[in-house]
Amino acid sequence: EVQLVQSGAEVKKPGESLRISCKGSGYSFISYWISWVRQMPGKGLEWMGRIDPSDSYTNYSPSFQGHVTISADKSTTTAYLQWSSLRASDTAMYYCARMGPTGVWFGPWGQGTLVTVSS
Amino acid sequence: QSALTQPASVSGSPGQSITISCTGTGTDVGGYNYVSWYQQHPGKAPFLMIYDVSNRPSGVSNRFSGSKSGNTASLTISGLQAEDEADYYCNSYTSSNTLVFGGGTKLTVL
């Protein structure tokens, strides 16, 4: 069974750094892109970016470029989303999702990681 | 890049059919057959319902169907059931080699 399991909820202060994870299992990790998607409280889905785990090539939404970094570790079949300096506006649920073979649709999805940034 | 345009809400009675639209431009929805649809129940992760405009993943009910005309894609749900009540999001590949979601549509089953 293909599964993506994300790390647990985080509570951080503005300016702190954070890395959340997404572990893939049940499939060839290097054969499918992984995307990250943000959902702010009560709001819709926003595509942040994606990574090709085979070579770590990344592709970001202009809205998130420069504020987050997406990475992957083939040896542990884990993708990461990280911030060097969090803002209160980063408070949201973050989902990872495996992309389809063409890299343009999402499925399956991780269970989500809630990030709360508050002073 | 702007989000694709979806109606904020739609509603229907059990057994009826409803259609949710997703309007973009020639650089996203209209330019590629790469529109997908997702169902999200409250407090749950999204779930793939349709990919590549009209393809259904195995396990998804054939009551769900997708189509596209010009810059507008559509998701139709026939034989509406109470369990279909959820938020629905469209997504499209874009000419900038990015992906963009619609704003989401809340489906209420009356």
- Residues A97/A106, Cβ–Cβ less than 8 Å: yes
**pLDDT of the residue at B20:** 98
Q: Are B46 and A108 an interchain contact pair (Cβ–Cβ within 8 Å)?
A: no
Closest to A99 (Cα-Cα) out of A42, A65, A54: A54
Share of chain B above pLDDT 90, in %: 97
pLDDT band at B8 (very low <50, low <70, confident <90, very high): very high
pLDDT at A105: 96
What is the longest distance spanned by two Cα atoms in chain B?
A: 40
Interface contact A105-B36, CB threshold 8 A: yes
B99 in contact with A at a CB cutoff of 8 Å? yes
Rounded to a whole number of angstroms, the distance from the CA of A97 to the nearest CA of chain B is 9
Task: Report the pLDDT averaged over residues B57-64.
Answer: 96
Smallest CA–CA separation between A55 and chain B, in Å?
18
Q: Given B46, B52, B97, which is nearest A45 (Cβ)?
A: B46
The span from the CA of B64 to the CA of A93, in Å, is 27
Closest CA to A58 of B98, B43, B104: B98
Percent of chain B with pLDDT over 70: 99
pLDDT over 80 (residue B86): yes
One digit per residue, the tens of pLDDT, for chain A of length 119 reads: 999 999 999 999 999 999 999 999 999 999 999 999 999 999 999 999 999 999 999 999 999 999 999 999 999 999 999 999 999 999 999 999 999 998 899 999 999 999 999 99
**B99 is written with which tokens?**
């992906």
Position A89: which residue type?
S
> Between chains, do B57 and A107 touch, taking CB under 8 Å as contact?
yes
DSSP assigned state of A90: G
B40 exposure class (CB count in 10 Å sphere: 0-12, 13-18, 19+) = buried
Distance from CA of B93 to the nearest CA of A (A): 6
Q: What pLDDT does A103 receive?
A: 87
Rounded-to-integer distance, Cα B102 and Cα B89, Å: 6
Rg of chain A over Cα atoms, rounded to whole angstroms, equals 13
Tell me if A110 sits within 8 A of B45, measured CB to CB.
yes
Q: Position A53: which residue type?
A: P
> Which among A44, A95, A104 has CB closest to B34?
A104
Q: With bands split at pLDDT 50, 70 and 90, how would you rate the model's confidence at B70?
A: very high
Which is nearest to B17 in space by CA: B92, B98, B75? Answer: B75
Least confident among A63-67, A78-82, B1-5, B49-53: B1-5
Q: Mutation target for A interface from B44, B60, B99: give the one with most A CBs within 10 A.
A: B99
| CB distance B36 to B90 below 8 Å | yes
What chain B residue is nearest to A65 in terms of C-alpha separation? B98
